[in-house]
Every structure is written in structure tokens, then in C-alpha cells.
Amino acid sequence: MSVVTRFAPSPTGRLHVGNLRTAIHNWLWARRNGGRFILRIDDTDRERSNEAHVDAIRDDLAWLGLDVDEVHRQSARFDRYEAALERLAADGRAYRAYETAQELELKRKVLLGRGMPPVYDRAALALGEAEHRRLEAEGRRPHWRFRLDHDRPIEWQDLVRGPQHLDPGLLSDPVIRREDGSWLYMLPSVIDDIDMAVSHVVRGEDHVTNTGLQLQMFEALGARPPDFAHEALLVGSEGKLSKRLGSLGVDAMRESGTEPIALMAKLARIGTSLPVDPVIDPTPLIESFDFATFGRAPARFDLDELESLNARIVHLLPWERVRERLPVGMGAADWEAIRPNLRRVADAADWWDILHGHVEKAAQEEDRPLLVAAAEATAAIDWADPPWPQLVSRLKSETGRTGKALFLPLRRALTGRDSGPEMAALLPLIGREETIARFRAAAG
Ligand code: GLU
């Protein structure tokens, strides 16, 4: 069986970490198996769907490195849905109903009041042709329901949740088409999965009940259903899916300087038994991807953890991967010296300014003799060899200073800061003349 997965967002907003995680898992599974990854735009709801969001979704997936093999749009497939509905109606698996939302709500309340499950009573199934004509003559338009088979238990082996069982008698026949002719998500998704030969449906566990209903739709349409994997939901570090987190958009991540591979590394692995490792390309994520590692408990997403993972990944990125985002002239040696101090690639510019800009930080009175000595020692040492160890050993013996008392004033004089990249790496980048000049300036 060839593996085909699909990511099926509704274009009603920007992607956020929750649905991005689903996209990543679908992509990883397709790539792991040499299969195809489909982007399906669920735009049956024309009013809420927005072309700008479609573009943004495609752009965000591209930014993340999720290459898409096929793109489909539900809005281009209404003929297919129409044909399938006709077939289901002819087979007695779809029927027209006329109850208004208020009428249905009343029925629900009555059932709940009697302590019974609020399942639709199928009153519309009993309507004859004459009654349909009468209702339509009154100006009522029908909506369509899918008739569940109550005699067949719904069962499947979920790739994450294990054996699943639902009692169809406890479920209402789902509405599949509204009275205005628009489609609800449920049936079109099944038709698409059949037509696009989708082998695995990977989505959040909020869809578990839908899967039960949809399995019967696959059967009613004479198709073998795909395998299902329902992943536990994503929650914030405080335990609930906070509003902020739920709406944490990819756009915000991009702006904050998060590397796409950091987001992928994090979202691929949280909620699984595998460690969240700093990786610089997706290969290890693809190779290790396995639904058996997915846990049932909600996956916790913590922004601080993402930031520190991002930093660890930045420390590993080779110059070739970032050169276009670095200040003009910043070479591989500069990058390697600076990289261990960065949390984001963009921060390299600050260090570049420090290396090449104007640093003016007058030393404290008691450090001035040290800096006078440092300027002289810098001029005296052999710059063909690594300069920093030579400078340090001279100053130790000349001044008797060691540790912080020695290093901090030198660092401040050269960088204007109390911490930063290894001085041994920085010194050759600042260069002999500039080093002497900075020591002298600080000595006053
Ligand atoms: N458009 C649906 C959603 O975003 C797709 C669900 C599915 O993957 O089948 O929830």
C-alpha cells in the first residue's frame, strides 16, 4: 500500500502551533514511507474561507520546509459531493429532514430531561413523498442527514489510541448538507479521502467521534477506509490550552526569529516518548517517526522550551545555512566565534557591531594600569600564533591578576559587555590594531 497523507486546514485563519503539529506529523509519515503528502483546503464554507489565508497557509508550510505533493480544494469538488449524495440517497443512506435549529434543540432538551442520550429521533425518515412536497410548498428547505447503521458496532484499530469502539445507537445521524445547499465537513472529507487514495488520516483526538461516523460513510460508499491516528491535543505549559497558545500563530514565530527546523523538531516530538533533540535538518525526525511512540496524555507546549531549543539549534547551524541572514562581510570564522552566544540568528548583528563598530567603555580607575599593560602586551605578542593565550599569560605574570579580576576588564574594554563569545575566538576577529586601540581607549 502506498502511503498518502493529507493536511486539511479550513482557511479561516492563520495556522497555529496546534494544526501545524498535525501538518508536521502527516508530512513526516508520508516522507518516512516514500509516500505523498497532500494539502487539502477545506473551503466548503465560502463565507468564512479567505483567499489570503490560503496563501498564508501555503507560505507557512513552505517556510517550515513541508513540501506538498498535491493541492486540492474542496470548493472545486462540489460535483463529486453531489454525486455521492445522490448515491447515498438512492441506497437509503441519506435522507432529507426539515427541523429547524429550535425544534432540534427542543427535542434534545426533552430527551436530556428524561435522562436519555440526546440522539436525533429520525422523525424525518418517516416522511412520505406527499409530506416532502407539502413541507417544501410551505417554503421549508430540507437539510440532509446520513443514516447510520445502528446494527453494526463501530470499531477500528487506532494507530495512537489502540482499539476503539463506538456505539452507533448513541450517535445522531449527522447532518451532511445544510438547507442552503452548503456542505458540512463530514461527508466531503470522506469523498476526498477516497478519491485521493488517502491511506492514513492523522488528526487531533477531537475528531474521534467524527471518525466513527465517517467509517460508516466509507462503507456506505463501498470504499475501504484509511487507517486513523488521533493524536492527543496540545496544551500550554500550565496544563490547559490557553487562548494565547491556541492562537499562537506561525506568523508570530517567524517574526520572533524562531528557526523553522526548531519548530519542527519541537512539534514532531512533544507528546511522544522520543526526546526533543536539537537537529538541523528533518532527516532524523523522519527516520524515527513512529505512531507507537505517541502518548495518550495531552502534549505540553512551552514557549520557553522552544526558545532554548532554538538557541541550541542556532549553535549548530553552519555558516552556509545562515550566510544570507548575516551582516554583509561576516565570514565563517566570525559566525563560528559568535554562534555559541546567540539565541537567534538575527542577534549576530549585535556582535558584528561590537567587532567592527565603535566600543567605548572607560575602564574603572583600578583597572587602568592593567589596560595600559594589555595594550603593550598586545603589540608585543606574535599574532601568527593564537594571540589570546599569549596575552593572558603575559598579563598574569606582569600584573599578578587572575580569574575575573583579569578577564572582566579586558572583556569590557574590547566588547563593552560583561559576557559574550569566547575572547580567544573574538580577539583575532577584532584584529591587532583595533585591540590595541580599544585597550588604550579604555585605559584613558
Ligand atoms: N478541516 C478539518 C479540520 O481542520 C479537517 C479534519 C480532518 O483532518 O479530517 O478540523
56-112 residue pLDDT tens: 999 999 999 999 999 999 999 999 999 999 999 999 999 999 999 999 999 999 999
**Closest ligand 1 atom number to CA of residue 201:** 8
Q: Which of 425, 423, 428 shows the shortest CA–CA distance to 409?
A: 423
Which amino acid, residue 35?
G
Domains of the chain: 4-72+185-233 (3.40.50.620), 79-177 (3.90.800.10), 358-443 (1.10.10.350)
Ligand 1: does its nearest atom lie under 6 Å from the Cβ of 173? no
Q: From the CA of 41, how far away is ligand 1's center (Å)?
A: 9
Contact present, 6 and 40 (Cβ < 8 Å): yes
Q: How many other C-beta atoms lie within 10 A of the C-beta of residue 252?
A: 15
Ligand 1: does its nearest atom lie under 6 Å from the Cβ of 74? no
Please tell me the distance from the alpha carbon of residue 428 to that of residue 360, in angstroms, as a whole number: 19
Which of 14, 27, 42 to probe ligand 1 with, by most ligand atoms within 8 A of CB? 42
pLDDT computed for residue 245 by the predictor: 56
Please tell me the distance from the alpha carbon of residue 414 to that of residue 430, in angstroms, as a whole number: 8
Contact present, 4 and 47 (Cβ < 8 Å): no
Cβ partners under 8 Å of residue 67, min gap 6: 37
User: Please, what are the averages of pLDDT over each run of 10 residues along the chain (444 residues)?
Assistant: 94 87 97 98 89 93 97 97 98 97 96 95 96 95 97 96 96 97 96 98 96 98 98 76 59 88 96 97 98 94 92 98 95 92 93 82 90 96 96 96 96 91 89 95 91
Q: From the CA of 262, how far away is ligand 1's center (Å)?
A: 25
pLDDT computed for residue 50 by the predictor: 86
Contact present, 19 and 64 (Cβ < 8 Å): no
Ligand 1: does its nearest atom lie under 6 Å from the Cβ of 210? no
Which of 4, 7, 10, 231 to probe ligand 1 with, by most ligand atoms within 8 A of CB? 10
**Closest ligand 1 atom number to CA of residue 203:** 8
Please tell me the distance from the alpha carbon of residue 61 to that of residue 353, in angstroms, as a whole number: 34
Please tell me the distance from the alpha carbon of residue 20 to that of residue 299, in angstroms, as a whole number: 14
Tell me which residue has its CA closest to atom 3 in ligand 1.
9
Contact present, 121 and 150 (Cβ < 8 Å): no
**Closest ligand 1 atom number to CA of residue 22:** 8
| Strands ordered across the beta sheet of 175-177 | 94-97, 143-146, 175-177
Tell me which residue has its CA closest to atom 10 in ligand 1.
9
pLDDT computed for residue 351 by the predictor: 87
Partners of 201 in beta bridges: 228
Ligand 1: does its nearest atom lie under 6 Å from the Cβ of 200? no
What global pTM score does this model have?
0.90
Ligand 1: does its nearest atom lie under 6 Å from the Cβ of 185? yes
Tell me which residue has its CA closest to atom 7 in ligand 1.
8
Ligand 1: does its nearest atom lie under 6 Å from the Cβ of 10? yes
Which amino acid, residue 288?
S
Alpha helix ranges (H) inside 14-141: 17-32, 51-64, 78-90, 101-113, 129-137
Please tell me the distance from the alpha carbon of residue 331 to that of residue 352, in angstroms, as a whole number: 11
Cα–chain-centroid distance for residue 124?
43
